[in-house]
Chain A
Amino acid sequence: MHNLDTVFKFEIIRTLKKKTFWIMALSFPVIIGFIFVVVFFSNQATNEAAKSVGDQKFTVEVTDKSDHISPNILKSLKAKEIKDKHQGIADVKTGKIDAYFYYPPDIKQQNVEVYANDVGLFDNSRYQSTAEQMLTASAASKAGVEFTAILQGQVNFSSTTYKDGAEYNGFKQLIAPGLFLVLFYILIIMFGNQMLTSTTEEKENRVIEMILTTIKPRTLIIGKILSLLVLALIQIIITLIPVVIAFIFLRENIGLPELDLSNIPLDPARIAIGAVLFVFSFLLFTGLLVAIGAATPTAKEAGGFFGVVMVLIFGPLYAVTLFVSSPEAMLVKILSFFPLTAPIPLLLRNSIGNLDPAEAVLGIAILAVSAILALGIAIRMFRFGALEYSKRISLKSLFPSKKS
């Protein structure tokens, strides 16, 4: 395609030279990095606080009307047992002791009461923790440690499910094809506006006539789309760098789950369907956004249509539970096969595994035809609409009865 590489390089380089691109590109990882740092220090502070709370000693009196507290536990915590609740509270008030715990006769119906001297918003929690530990340890000493663990839900389980005779993990299965859904979401969110305004610049700057005598509109549009894709990849890499660094070096500190990539199942059919759906979905919305940009006289006016397109693309996310639980529902079918809402439902259903092959083929066909149509309209809009510097053009004006 004549001059495609020239357009592609020009669009990439001039975008990379813009401060706004780097502000946008870096703000996302900076925010993610900032969140990681906050979580890291917050976890560290919490651990240290918990450790210091555990280490701290305080004087305590206990009244046990429940008969559940073991004398040995009281002894090990150097807690003094008293009979009179009012005396315990008075001792706290006068500062004679740090804390007083009252265990009522029926702990199922009545509250365990904790009275203590204030030691700060966060450190005050140590009193209730100790009262709770006292009760739990006493129960464990009577029932046995394992029985207590069962009652406390501290038993680990592992599940293995099978589909068609082979081991199948629904959550792990959706990771690989689900990446296309995530990628589509990120691309549209980050670059939708840029797609929309990619051709308005030529129009607003009155540069279009000089362009049209040196290059075909199709080449210009494709060059711009390819450059947007590369810029999006750059953006994604920039965004992922801090995530990968955080995962490798700070995973345990910030409480990220362990991820064993070798365990992620790769279903070639679903991955292939996801890839094809992603490509045509991306082309459909690129064509649509470029067409809107070419049909409107200014970037500002084009921006007004952006919200409508976003609602069409991401509106189906509100029905996400329906896609998971009732793939046969009429609404799911409509959203899956109406071109402008189809990308999210089709990509999502392919990820979770309830898009059957016939539906996948139909969905791909609908998206492919719509994408080609949208790109064709975008190119025609650009060719004929670009010279309408001050007015919006209509679809009808693209297909006049006599002119070309």
Chain B
Amino acid sequence: MAKSPATPMVTVKDFSISFGKKKIIDRLSFEVNRGEVFGFLGSNGSGKTTTIRSLLGIYGADSGQLLIDGKTFSVDSDIKLGYLPEERGLYKKESVIDTMVYFGQLKGMAKADAKQWSLDYLKKVDLGDKATTRLDKLSGGQQQKIQVGITVMNDPELLILDEPTKGFDPVNRRLLMDIIDEHRRGGATVIFVTHQMEEVEKLCDRIILLKNGKAEAYGTIKDVKNKFGGASLDDIFVKIYDNKDEVNHA
């Protein structure tokens, strides 16, 4: 699946961005290797979503480089991207199948393929009888399943999930975790934006911890734990965001 094995899937180098006078990200640098699950951690307002939006070209950076597969991302890129944004929604007055097929086509799938994939997926997630139902007639949990389906329907090489479990019930959380795992095993690179440490420990190969637009920690989970004296990720998170002075930079 990887097109240029030597190039990291994502490269962020000296990235800075401000909104008005407020500096959101200050010279941030990190890389995401191909095929890994990368945890992008930080408290609310630490700049995680801004970094992802900048990486995807939704925001423009003040300075620095944000590359996917060695190139600045654009909708014309040949990279297959699956993005589940933090702020998510669907065309509520359209039917499930029409919405899924539309997004499938926007992601480059043929209409027939998008329809077949969608019908198969709906059966898989117990929504086989809801294909022609309007989205606003579905429960919140059912809509979440549709959103996850739309995110992965083009078999993405890079899966970016921004707070993916936010608002998910346990059943959908499990479904999402299974899907992430399935794609990782298929060779996809996954960026997992969250502050749920339990999920991070279970899924991620490497992580970055962001605070006030700067990286507080970056590396494998083991490296980060060692750096903070072997504490659990939960403890490290609390220490960093509650009282930085208590953190033991071992």
Contact = CB atoms under 8 A, between A and B. Distances in A.
A221 to B, nearest CB: 14
Contact of B75 (A14, A216, A389): A216
Contact of A403 (B17, B93, B105): B17
Given A210-B85, A215-B106, A205 B56 contact: no
B89 A205 contact: yes
B59 A207 contact: no
Contacts of B235: none
Contacts of B76: 2
A13 B75 CA distance: 24
A206 B88 contact: yes
B88 A403 contact: no
A399 B90 CA distance: 29
A340 to B, nearest CB: 30
Given A3-B105, A403-B59, A389 B87 contact: yes
B18 interface: yes
A205 B87 contact: no
A402 B92 contact: no
B94 A209 contact: no
B75 A213 contact: yes
Contact of A214 (B17, B61, B87, B106): B106
User: What DSSP secondary structure best describes chain A's contact surface?
Assistant: loop
User: What DSSP secondary structure best describes chain B's contact surface?
Assistant: loop
B88 A402 contact: no
Contacts of B38: none
A201 interface: yes
B170 interface: no
Contacts of B159: none
Interface string A210-234: 1111111000000000000000000
Which range contains the number of A residues in contact with the other chain?
Answer: 20 to 34
Interface string A182-220: 000000000000000000010001110111111110000
A213 B81 contact: yes
B241 interface: no
B83 interface: yes
Contacts of A6: 102, 105-106
B129 to A, nearest CB: 20
Contacts of A207: 88-91
B104 to A, nearest CB: 10
Given A6-B102, A207-B91, A213-B81, A402 B18 contact: yes
B153 to A, nearest CB: 11
10 contacts: A2-B75, A205-B90, A205-B92, A206-B89, A207-B88, A209-B87, A210-B103, A213-B75, A402-B18, A404-B60
Q: Which 8 A-B pairs have the closest CB atoms?
A: A404-B60, A206-B89, A209-B85, A214-B106, A205-B89, A6-B105, A402-B62, A206-B87
Given A207-B91, A212-B75, 19 more contacts: A2-B76, A6-B102, A6-B105, A6-B106, A10-B98, A14-B93, A14-B94, A18-B93, A205-B89, A206-B88, A207-B88, A207-B89, A207-B90, A209-B58, A210-B85, A215-B106, A387-B53, A387-B58, A400-B19
